[in-house]
Structure 1
Amino acid sequence: MLQTDLSKFKGIIVAMNSCYDRNGRVDEGAVGELVAFLAKRGVKGVYVGGSTGEGMLQSVEERKRVLEAVMAAKPLDFTVIAHVGAITTRDSVELAEHAESVGADALSAIPPFYYRISEHGVEEHWASMMRASGLPFIIYHIPATTGFSLSKPLLQKMLAYPQTIGVKITTPSTYELQQFKALGGPDFLLFNGPDEQLLAGLSLGADAGIGGTYGMMPELFVAIYEAFRQGRMEEARTYQTWANDIIAELLDMPVYGAIKEIVKMRGVDCGQPRLPLEPVPADRLPAVRKLYEKMMSYVEACGAAV
């Protein structure tokens, strides 16, 4: 395995929102504001250009601009993982080279999607990014959206590449998470993906969490992680229950649009999600406001408890 400081990846890492201006262009100023907002609330770092970051809906140049804005705004001890996955290997390699050039801490990538690519093809796709960069590499396993499921034999092959340091796993199976951890060994990083089961993932070996709803209520997820780490399981369960109460209502809304509205209510205007992701209709905004108020009651209670 690549010699790197693995501690920089352990903790709460926010799958960061994209930020656009009123004309739908990348808003570097808002990106910086969002990084500052998150850094002040104790998160370990950010995951840039993934699902919540709308990376698949942006051009290569837009993705570079977002990452550059993050790097310009981040504190010194703030971890930045650049998601560089794309449908073409060429674009992924270009993004990987760029991520290294601007100082990102690690790369991550989904497998290529839409086409049915063989395991050998996916391995070569990921290996091309590693050959283009000296950065640590984190596999992003999210079969519900990519249609490709990371098998244990393929993971075993990927472990032969020294840059492969972990897997971000977004599936409902904590058993699969535990099996990947066992295969990779104690120094192999597992990043829990489903926000609503962060505590379950940590309990079965996850070293960190990467999530999209973390960005609107980072305090709750930091509290879950710290309570678990300190052995205060009852508190951790309480905080996870509070987070899940918010997530359950959020899932009845246009999720990405609602997250952005709540982040705006917290002081950072990230603009609207890029179509075809749906914004929140005007008649649903009162429901989002009500959800925000409930969420903030939990955030405040969490702060008082901690």
Structure 2
Amino acid sequence: MLLDKYKGIIPAFYACYDESGEISPERIKLLANHLYEKGVQGLYVGGSSGECIYQNLEERKATLKYVSESLKGKLTLIAHVGAPSTKESVELAKYAEELGYDALSAIPPIYFKLPESSIEKYWTEIMDSTELPFIIYNIPQTTGYNLSINLLTKLLKNDKLIGVKNSSMPVMDIERFKAAAPEEFIVFNGPDEQYVSGRLIGADSGIGGTYGVMPELFLKAEEFVVAGNFSEARKIQRDINDIIIALCSLNGSMYSTIKEIYKLRGINIGSVRGPLEPVSGEDLGKIEIIKNMIDVAKQKFGIEN
């Protein structure tokens, strides 16, 4: 079944920079292979966690290229191609197809408040530009647009639309999208804080920005959900949420905190690109505490790797 290819834990891939803040091929491949070895089912490349809106077209292409060189054929690879213009989005989409990506995805157009007809045209032009399946990325808290059932119904007439990555906070949105679509339609849970509840109300899979720093915990949460062990699923979600709150509690970007944790593990993928701020000052001393929270949670649930 088509759906099976997209089930499981799919981390949103982090931007990888060298010490000068430029895209690092070596660090991209290092992170890609690290996540592959953790046993995740796929990667979502070039989205929010990839700092896409702070990178130019050539930098985004480079990230797509080096991830593909590392993992094409080993994992499900989804390329996020949303960009400021339709022209750039289509260019990225065609490039991802050339690289052998399994599917495309895109946020709606950003900055201008556009009528729904413009959003429909934007996503349709991306879908029509390649032969790859397409996944809508619904994240209203950053884009200002929340996917309507009316637009979803219209877009479902295009056979290339196979799913929605839903990052709106109401869990009910997942259920409504599932109810409005054919059985084979895929809904990905977006907010990491509600992974378990999202899965129970109908999400088929998950794509998340904190999966990469604690893939073992999300893989175990998925294991509990599939087994119907909801008591343990709730417990691990509680620990995950405690960690997410801690990740967001420091004076820099959450992604900077995540990258500092990676450095403590011996994996350097650089810092963040401005205007995102790195963790600094006294908060740097708190990084190890958060890393230890992840390690303790892994031990609690019998996770060895």
TM-score when normalising by structure 2: 0.96
Q: Out of 64, 82, 87, which is 2:84 matched to?
A: 87
Alpha-carbon distance change, 91 to 75 in structure 1, aligned in 2, over 3 angstroms: closer
2:211 is matched by which residue type in structure 1? Y
CA distance in 2, matches of 1:164, 1:75: 22
Q: Out of 140, 143, 146, which is 1:146 matched to?
A: 143
User: What corresponds to 2:66 in structure 1?
Assistant: 69
Partner of 1:81, secondary structure, is strand
1:289 is matched by which residue type in structure 2? E
2:89 is matched by which residue type in structure 1? S
Q: Out of 13, 17, 21, which is 1:16 matched to?
A: 13
Q: Out of 121, 130, 139, which is 1:133 matched to?
A: 130
1:235 aligns to 2:232 (yes or no): yes
User: What corresponds to 2:274 in structure 1?
Assistant: 275
Residues paired across the two proteins, number: 303
Deviation string 1:83-115 (CA, Å, 9 cap, x unpaired) is 000110000000000000000010000000110
Which residues of structure 2 form unaligned runs of 5+? none
User: What corresponds to 2:45 in structure 1?
Assistant: 48
CA distance in 2, matches of 1:99, 1:90: 14
Partner of 1:167, secondary structure, is strand
Partner of 2:301, secondary structure, is helix
1:224 aligns to 2:221 (yes or no): yes
User: What corresponds to 1:102 in structure 2?
Assistant: 99
Q: Out of 170, 189, 193, which is 1:196 matched to?
A: 193
User: What corresponds to 1:260 in structure 2?
Assistant: 259
8 Å contact kept, 2:167–2:191: yes
% same residue: 45
2:73 is matched by which residue type in structure 1? L
Q: Which sits farther off after the overlay, 34-43 or 70-79?
A: 70-79
Deviation string 1:30-66 (CA, Å, 9 cap, x unpaired) is 1111111111112111101111110111111100100
Partner of 2:152, secondary structure, is helix
Deviation above 4 Å: which 4+ runs of structure 1?
A: none
Cα root mean square deviation, aligned: 1.4
Which residues of structure 1 form unaligned runs of 5+? none
1:165 aligns to 2:162 (yes or no): yes
TM-score when normalising by structure 1: 0.96
CA distance in 2, matches of 1:244, 1:274: 26
